[in-house]
Structures are given as structure tokens and as C-alpha cells.
A = this chain, B = another copy of it.
Amino acid sequence: MDNDSLGPKAKVKEDSEMSKEEKLSRVQEDYESFLQTHTGRLLKVEIEDCPNFGDKAYVEFDSARTAIIVVDMQVDFCGKNGYVDVMGYDLSLTAGPIKPIKNILEAVRDGTDIKVIHTREGHMPNLADLPYNKLLRSKIIGKGVGIGDKPKGGEGQLLVRGQKNWNIIDDLTPVDGEYVIDKSAKGAFAHSDFGVTLKKLGITHLIMTGITTDVCVHTIMREANDIGYWCILLKDCTGATNQENYESAIKQIKMQGGVFGWVTDSNKFINAIKDGFNN
């Protein structure tokens, strides 16, 4: 294999010969260019545990390129006789984020240009899009009652599109101008229109909320992060089927300087909205 097989020499090599002062001045230039070209309001959000940044760290971004992602706030994941209930988990954990998410949506719906995208997990009635591993494991944990089955007292087949238990809960029903993406997987990018929709809307920053923290929310953050989306998790706007998994999922995000994004909470984000929009 000849020397050029990895492609041309890169600008980055020249960069490595730049002095620290030159580099910092270029970062400063980029920041000033951003301040001039953002098309929405500037959002400045305090984040937690950012290493090497002293007491407090802030992230700034453009409201016009920001989307709140509300992951799977369906009856199946936080309501009675839904999928999580049938698996035997404590609903108070997955229902916990409902109120904080509601607060966030109210702040966003009050005259901002921040986009709202809801996701729904669910399968075709004939389960064509349900891999066997997911089906089998749902039957194991549900003692024979898994995805596609209608539990005793339930309103429909678990995790099936069009069933009442598949609906987003009343408290968080999408309103006109918001977006809803259906997905069959835990993640959202690989087999749905989620990525196409983000691209069309010109989104660069994802504000992550919803359930469950360690499964769907984390998988979507991982997918988004691998492509270059900037993700910020609102930790009180998310919940898991197990408190320890919730906490460890948040800790995992912060490793390696924020390997999957940043963490903050709903109050800090609402403050940033108020400041940005002078509300």
C-alpha cells in the first residue's frame, strides 16, 4: 500500500504546528462569526460537571436550530396496563418526568422558534417490523404476555401502532406545528424518518427528554452523537424502569468530557429560554 492510500495531507497537520495562541484566536473568530450568523435567539444554558471548566460551564446555541426531543411518552411506557406496567416495573419512575416535560413544552410553545419532535415506539399490527429477539424477550419478562399481545385489563395489543396504549399520554399530546416520528426500534435514526426530519429542519442541537433514560433516550443520543448532533439531556425530564439505571445512564453521558453529550435540568433550560426570548 503506497503512502497516499489514506488520502491527501490534511489541513489539520498544519494546525498541529499552530501555536496555542493562534488556535485560541481562531476559536474566538469562529465564535464571533457564529454570533453574527445565528438566525434565532441565542440560548445560553448552564450544564453540569464539565471537566476543566471550573465552577460553572455554559453552552450557547441557536434557538432556530434547536429541537426538543420528547422520546416515547406513550401509555405503553408510563401508563396503566401498558408495556412497562405489564413487565412489572414501577410506573412512578417512568411517569416522573411528565410534569417537568410539560413545563418545558409550555416554555417552548410560548412564542419561541424551538422545534418539538415527539417519537413513538410501536410495531405494525402483523409485527412485520418486530425482530424475534425483541419479541422473545418481551414474552420472557412478561411471563408470556409480550409485544403484540393484549394483556388482561389492557386496552389493546402492547406496543402496536393504532392501539390506545400506543398513544402519547394526554398530558403531553403534540400540538399543531409539532412533529411526530414513528419508530420500531429503540434508536430513531436507523429505520425511521427522524434523521431526514432533523436535516430538513436545519437542527444542530437536540434537547433530550422522555423515557426510558438508559434504553431509548440513550440509544438515540448515541446515534445522534456519532453523526455530530450536539445533545443535552434534561435529567429531570427523563426516567428509567430502575433508579440505578437512570443514574448510571446519566453518569455514562458525562464520561470522557461528555462522550454522549451534556447534562442539565429543566429549570436551567427554561431560564435560558427566558433570557434568550426576553420573556
Contacts and interface: CB of A to CB of B under 8 A. Distances in A.
A190 B227 contact: yes
Contacts of A255: 214-215, 241-242, 245
B11 A193 contact: no
Contact of A222 (B5, B138, B219, B249): B219
A2 interface: yes
Interface residues of A, number: 103
Which of A149, A157, A225 has the most C-beta atoms of chain B within 10 angstroms of its own C-beta? A225
Most buried by B among A138, A142, A186, A252: A252
A227 B196 contact: yes
A84 B248 CA distance: 20
Contacts of A195: 191, 227
Contacts of A1: 1, 3, 5-6, 161-162
A29 interface: no
A16 B181 CA distance: 23
Interface in A74-119: 87, 118
B256 A252 contact: no
A152 interface: no
A215 B256 contact: yes
Nearest to A14: B176
Please tell me how many copies of the chain the complex holds: 4
A153 interface: no
Contacts of A248: 244-245, 248-249, 251-252
A259 B137 contact: yes
A74 B159 CA distance: 28
Given A87-B256, A222-B222, A228-B200, A141 B52 contact: yes
Nearest to A149: B16
15 contacts: A1-B3, A9-B126, A10-B128, A11-B177, A12-B148, A16-B157, A51-B141, A87-B257, A124-B179, A129-B193, A131-B227, A191-B193, A191-B195, A215-B256, A222-B222
Interface of A: 1-13, 15-16, 20, 33, 37, 39, 50-53, 87, 118, 124-134, 136-144, 148-150, 157, 161-162, 164, 167, 173-181, 184-187, 189-193, 195-197, 199-201, 214-215, 218-219, 222-223, 225-230, 241-242, 244-245, 248-249, 251-252, 255-259, 261
- A-B interface, 4 closest residue pairs, ranked by CB to CB distance from nearest: A10-B126, A131-B228, A248-B248, A141-B257
